[in-house]
Structure 1
Amino acid sequence: MDEKLLIKKAVKAMENAYAPYSGFKVGACVLTSDGTEFTGCNIENASFGLTVCAERVALFKAYSEGKRDIIALAVAADVDEPVSPCGACRQVMMELSPDALVILSNRDGSKVMRTGPGELLPYGFKL
Structure 2
Amino acid sequence: MIKYSLKERVNPTDIAAPNKLYPIKQAQEELTLRDFAKRISRESTVSMMDTMAVLEGLLQIIPDEIVNGKIIKLGDFGTFRSTLSAEGVATADEFSVAKIKSLNVRFRPAREFRNLLASVKYEKVS
TM-score w.r.t. the length of structure 1 is 0.25
Using CA pairs under 8 Å that are at least 6 residues apart, name the structure with larger relative contact order, 1 or 2: 2
Instruction: Give 1 or 2: higher strand fraction.
Output: 2
**Higher-Rg member (1/2):** 2
